[in-house]
Amino acid sequence: MIETPYLLFLGDAPDQLAAKVAQGIKDWRPENAVGQFRMDGCKADMKLADMDLAAAKAAGAKTLVVGVANRGGVISQAWKKVLVNALEEGFDLASGLHNLLRDEPDLVAVAEATGRKLHDVRIPSVKYPIANGVKRSGKRMLAVGTDCSVGKMYTALAVDESLRKMGAKSTFRATGQTGILITGGGVPLDAVIADFMAGSIEYLTPDNDDDHWDLIEGQGSLFHVSYSGVTLALVHGGQPDALMLCHEPTREHMRGLPDYQLPTLEALRDTALPLARVANPACEVVGISINTQHMGEDEALSYMAEVEKRMGLPTADPYRQGADRLAEALLAL
C-alpha cells in the first residue's frame, strides 16, 4: 500500500486532461490530497493549495504522486529535479507511468540512499495465485462495459460512495493504475501474466462480511477484441453477484478499432450474464450506468428514460445524477 496523504505532482501538464490521475484523487479521495505541486507552465489546476515540498511536508504529506501523464508516459528530465528533491525531503514517490520510476538509475540511487520507496503501480508487486473458483463470502459488483473507457471506474467509485453514505459496508477495488493511485492499492490487471489474471481478482476481493459489497472496477469489454480476455478474467475471478452495465451512447466505433461497432446493451447483458453465472449462478444484472458527457441535459435524460424502460433496469449517469439509485438496486438484491 502507498502511504497517504499525498502531494499531487502536476508537473508541466499541458492541459487539465493530462492531469486526470490527480483529478481522480482529488474528486474521490480529497482527504488523501493535502496540496498540489505545479511547475512553471503548468496548465492544470486541481483547485488545491499550491505547495512546495517543505510546505507539503509540514502539512503531513507522505508521498509525492505523479498525477500527470506526458505523451508516451515518459518521466521528463524537467521533472527529475523535483522527484529527486522529494526523495531527499523524505517523500516516497508513486507513479502509474509506463516509464517506471525503478528504471531511472538516479531515482533508484537517491531512494536507496534516503530509505524512501518508489511505487510503480503499473506493474504488479504481488505474486498472485491461480484462481481456484471457490465461493467467497460477501457480495461483489462488477462494472462491465460495451467498450473501453465508458465510465466503469467512475461508476464503481460512485456506487461505493453512495453505499457508504447510506451506511452500507463497501470497498472500491481498483484494477487499473488510476484507481490504485486514488485508493492506495489494487491490482494492475492489464500488466498481470495471463494465467494469474483471474487469481489476482480473487486475491483482490477476498472473503468478507455477508453484507459487505466489493465494487470492482472493470477493464476493457467482452466485445473489445484487444482486451476481452482481461474482461473475462474479471467476470470469472470476481464471481460477481451483480453486474452494472456501462455505456457511452455517442461512441461511433469501438475505441481504437474503427471497423468494430459497439454492441447493444441487450447484447452486453446477454453475453456477460451467462458467463458470470458460470462462476456465480446467482448473478444478476442490476442497473445501467450511462456516460452522457457528450449529450445535453434534455437529450441525456430522455435517452436514459428510454433505456430504463427498454431494459427494465434502473438507469443513471452517476456523474450528472449521483449513483444512489444504482446503489439501492444493489442493496435490494
- Report the interface residues with a copy of itself, using CB under 8 A: 71-72, 98, 129-135, 189-195, 197-199, 222-223, 225-233, 235-237, 239, 254, 256-257, 259-260, 263, 271, 274-275, 278-279
Instruction: Please tell me the distance from the alpha carbon of residue 153 to that of residue 176, in angstroms, as a whole number.
Output: 9
CB of 267 to a copy of itself, least distance (A): 8
Task: Name which of 8 and 198 has its Cβ closer to a copy of itself.
Answer: 198
Closest to a copy of itself by CB, 275 or 311: 275
Q: Which CB sits closer to a copy of itself, 181 or 187?
A: 187
Parallel/antiparallel/unpaired status of strands 169-173 and 118-120: unpaired
Contact 187, 229 (CB under 8 A): no
**Closer by beta carbon to a copy of itself, 194 or else 332:** 194
Would you say 37 or 128 has its CB closer to a copy of itself? Answer: 128
At its nearest, how many Å lie between a copy of itself and the CB of residue 237?
7
* Identity of the residue, 133 or 322, whose beta carbon is nearer to a copy of itself in the bound complex: 133
Whose cell is 447510506? That residue is 166
CA–CA distance from 191 to each of 17, 36, 96, 230 (Å)? Answer: 24, 29, 12, 10
Distance CA 315, CA 325 (A): 8
CB neighbour list of residue 69: distance below 8 Å, 6 or more residues apart? 18, 20, 21, 96, 97
Q: What is the DSSP letter of 30?
A: G
Dihedral sign for Cα atoms in the order 62, 63, 64, 69: negative
Q: Nearest approach, Cβ of 69 to a copy of itself (angstroms)?
A: 12
Q: Are 179 and 234 in contact (CB under 8 A)?
A: no
Least Cβ distance, residue 238 to a copy of itself (angstroms)? 10
Residue closer to a copy of itself (CB basis): 22 or 233: 233
C-alpha cell at 302: 430522455
Minimum gap (Å) between residue 185 Cβ and a copy of itself: 19
User: What phi-psi label fits residue 37: left (phi over 0), alpha (psi between -120 and 50 degrees) or beta?
Assistant: beta
Q: CB of 92: closest distance to a copy of itself in angstroms? A: 25
Please provide residue 28's backbone torsions phi and psi, each rounded to the nearest 5 degrees: -105, -25
Min CB(58)–a copy of itself separation in Å:
38
